[in-house]
Amino acid sequence: MLSFLTWLLPTSFLPGWLTLDTNPVDCLLQGLIGACGISVLCSLMRVHFFLEDQSSQKDETSKQKMQADMGRLPRLLQFLFVTGMLTVVGSRVASLVVLEFCLRALSGWVTAGAESRKYVQQVLIQSQYSLGCALSCSLHFLHEGAAHGWLCLILAAALSWFLARQAMLLQRHVMALFQLHSSQRYCGICIGLLTSGHSLLPLLCRIVIITFFVAGVAAVSIINKHFLSATEALRFWTPLTICYTLLIVYMQEDQQRRPNSQAVLNTVVVRLGGLMVLMLTVGRWADVLHILICFLGEASCLIPTMDLLDAASSQEEEDFTEYTRQCRRPRTQEKERHRWRTEAPISQQ
């Protein structure tokens, strides 16, 4: 995090835990790529929810709420802030965030069962900052020791910026002109989304899974480099795995009881607070400082997307209501048949 200060100031006057060897330009490019990945995910998720709202029989108030988005200036400020948060977070804490999210997503998917589709929507929204950390630590692992790593990062940042720009333009085009173009059928983008828009969520899910798989391998390698022996590594991984397994089980149960945006924010505070307590035990002071920065990064990603979390929760409630209605119909019909059978012989007599 403080590599910018150590790059400008002499390191002889600083303590050892503030002295980092990471190039600040590489950190900035990695943070920019992570922020672009978050922007692409948010834009495509908004397109997905917009298409679902158009296909469902929702009122105009809920549709207008989903169409509401931040202006260009607030969105640019949020993008720059997220870039800064990803830039200053070290690779070690970013790796811990990635591993924690992988464990949380896997356990939640196992317990979700038949409601896995709605769970996937919620996880994709909650994975924004973790996705940025995944891209950051993956690039740090892949370009570590490369002779021209900065050039590769510049090319990756340019491509990421282009994809984020195109995703944002797609979101604005769909929300402004989808109804007109899909009815008149003369826009290829809107017609394509009308016919194959249901495959957008599975595509995002596969891309995120591949990203976190690569980031998980990179995270384990980055964290193990800080240990001198297998005993020290075991002393770190054992409490991390046990504590977070118990914590994740508790958070999943709490979020199922209260499936709303407030429960998501409470979950962020609990899991990052648990990670900070663990770093106070087996980590370094720099790790604790980086986890405090992660609080700001998570908040900057989740607060602007509260409408998406509420939309996912409302869809889950509507599906549960429809499911209960379908379950009650056979019971009501069976009671009517039973009453007709019992009353028919009496009327014949």
Q: Tens digit of pLDDT per residue, the chain (349 long)? A: 445 444 455 444 444 444 444 678 888 999 999 999 999 999 999 999 888 888 775 555 555 555 555 678 888 999 999 999 999 888 888 988 898 888 888 877 777 654 567 778 888 988 899 999 999 999 998 888 777 778 889 999 999 999 999 999 999 989 888 888 877 777 888 888 888 888 899 999 999 999 999 999 999 888 888 766 667 777 777 776 776 667 666 666 666 555 566 667 777 777 777 777 777 776 677 888 888 888 899 989 988 888 888 777 766 555 444 444 544 555 555 555 555 555 555 444 4
Instruction: Return the pLDDT at 122.
Output: 84
DSSP for residue 17: G
C-alpha distances in Å from residue 308, one per residue of 10, 69, 157, 170, 302:
46, 11, 27, 17, 9
Instruction: Return the pLDDT at 29.
Output: 92
Instruction: Return the pLDDT at 70.
Output: 66
Instruction: Return the pLDDT at 211.
Output: 94
Q: What is the DSSP string of 229-266?
A: SHHHHHHHHHHHHHHHHHHHHHHHHHHHHS-SHHHHHH
What is the C-alpha separation between 275 and 243, in angstroms, rounded? 9
pTM: 0.80
What is the C-alpha separation between 291 and 280, in angstroms, rounded? 11
How buried is residue 223: exposed, middle or buried, by Cβ count under 10 Å (0-12/13-18/19+)? buried
Instruction: Return the pLDDT at 138.
Output: 92
What is the C-alpha separation between 29 and 98, in angstroms, rounded? 19
Instruction: Return the pLDDT at 63.
Output: 53
Instruction: Return the pLDDT at 154.
Output: 93
Instruction: Return the pLDDT at 282.
Output: 67
Determine the straight-line distance between the first and last CA of the chain, rounded to whole angstroms: 90
